[in-house]
Amino acid sequence: ATSTAPRHFLSIGDLTPKELSTLVRQATKAKHAIKAGTVPESLKGTLTGKTIAMMFSKRSTRTRVSTEAAVVYMGGHPMFLGKDDIQLGVNESLYDTSVVISSMTSCIVARVGPHSDIAELAKHSSVPVINALSDLYHPLQAVTDIMTISEAFPSGIAGLKVAWVGDANNVLYDLMIACAKMGINVSIATPANYPVDPGMLATTEAAAKLSGSKIEVTTDPIVAVRDANVIVTDTWVSMGQESEKKIRLAQFEGYQVSTKMAAKAHKDWKFMHCLPRKPEEVTNEVFYSDRSLVFTEAENRLYAAIAALEAFVVKKGKFEEDE
């Protein structure tokens, strides 16, 4: 273990606006190179001989595949440790697990239930910990989403309006903080019984104050989507909330994103969703339309994973001034 504590990536709140822009720019650069059939020279072999531990206590398609593929592009070895593979939670504490795994690997990418679990892992890890989803945050998704918005609006993202309709959850929290840092206006409609966490709102408003963006919270989806350039949603039943499914589906009635709901959105509005998607939160008409960026967004997870590994593992968290 080194004497200086590693820099972790647990939330978008850990980044300055400039660092977030750098991650998005590096991800986009990696995309262009990989699409052209090359790996950028600056990335080639940067993880050779290094193992990236992936501790996932929940299912994953995109985060798992993108992280494993990203590590391979960079020459390293991704080691997937599912909840039935290691002692964690069953037979061993977070402390012991973190000390042991970090003594043998170069990074821990972890998907957990309570955010306190990943905070605890990070506290005792001698290598960077990257959050692959907790109940509060999903930073790799938010980097991807800013990248996807930037691609869809090449003339600039500051001043755009992003509307979120649905649950106040982990994906929303890092996305709203990211938008606020980038000068994107955000309007959020959630049912009255599922309000945005006041602490998350305060963090977002503080970032918005610096960038000049506006944050609005409402229970009315029609208000949220008015003039929106991008409408975003996510499942109404996150992993771990399966027992609440019936009550949630009832409480979120009227929040399904549809062409009708979006009648007063900007005429060129786009749709985004982190996936996996359930049918109730968005109509097929919208989800599979030309407005929908969902599959580009999913693919962009790969490039965001590359940028995050480059920033936090290769550059050890010192990446602000990169070109």
Minimum CB distance to ligand CP smaller for 112 or for 208: 112
Of 33 and 130, which has the nearer Cβ to ligand NVA? Answer: 130
Residue 53 CB, nearest approach to ligand NVA (Å) = 20
SS (H, E, C) the chain: CCCCCCCCECCHHHCCHHHHHHHHHHHHHHHHHHHCCCCCCCCCCCCCCCEEEEEECCCCCHHHHHHHHHHHHCCCEEEEEECCCCCECCCECHHHHHHHHHHHCCEEEEECCCHHHHHHHHHHCCCCEEECCCCCCCHHHHHHHHHHHHHHCCCCCCCCEEEEECCCCHHHHHHHHHHHHCCCEEEEECCCCCCCCHHHHHHHHHHHHHHCCCEEEECCHHHHHCCCCEEEECCCCCCCCHHHHHHHHHHCCCCCECCCHHHHCCCCCEEEECCCCCHHHECHHHHCCCCECHHHHHHHHHHHHHHHHHHHHHCCCCCCCCC
Q: Which string of DSSP letters, residue by residue, matches 64-75?
A: HHHHHHHHHHTT
Question: Applying CB under 6 A, which of residues 16, 38, 48, 61 lies at the interface with ligand CP?
Answer: 61
Tell me if 62 contacts ligand CP by CB under 6 A. yes
Kindly tell me which of 185 and 235 has the beta carbon lying closer to ligand NVA: 235
Amino acid in the structure at residue 249:
L
The CB-of-55 to ligand NVA minimum distance in angstroms stands at 16
- Which residue is nearest to ligand NVA, using beta carbons? 238
Task: Choose, by CB under 6 A, the member of 63, 98, 148, 170 that binds ligand CP.
Answer: 63
Between 105 and 170, CB nearer to ligand NVA: 170
For residue 234, the partner it binds in ligand NVA, ligand CP, none, with Cβ less than 5 to 8 A by kind, is: ligand NVA
Selected catalytic residue, list 47, 122, 157, 274: 274
Considering the complex, what minimum distance in angstroms separates the CB of residue 305 from ligand CP? 11
Using the structure block, give the residue that is written with the tokens 């940028």.
307
The correct pick among 60, 97, 105, 213 for binding ligand CP (CB under 6 A) is 60
Kindly state the smallest distance separating residue 241's Cβ from ligand NVA, in Å.
8
Binding residue count for ligand CP, defined by CB under 6 A = 9
Nearer to ligand NVA, 56 or 312 (CB): 56
Q: Is 274 a catalytic residue?
A: yes
Site residues (CB under 6 A) for ligand CP, limited to 248-287: 274-276
Q: Which stretch binds ligand CP (CB under 6 A): 55-63, 70-78, 115-123, 222-230?
A: 55-63
Closer of 171 and 262 to ligand NVA (Cβ)? 171
Residues of the shown chain interacting with ligand NVA in the complex, contacts defined by CB under 6 A: 133, 169-171, 234-235, 238-239, 274
Cα–Cα distance for residue pair 143/237, rounded to 1 Å: 23
C-beta of 67: minimal distance to ligand CP in Å? 9
Classify residue 123 by its DSSP letter.
H
Judged by the rule CB under 6 A, the positions of this chain that interact with ligand CP are 60-63, 133, 141, 274-276
Question: Catalytic positions, please?
Answer: 274
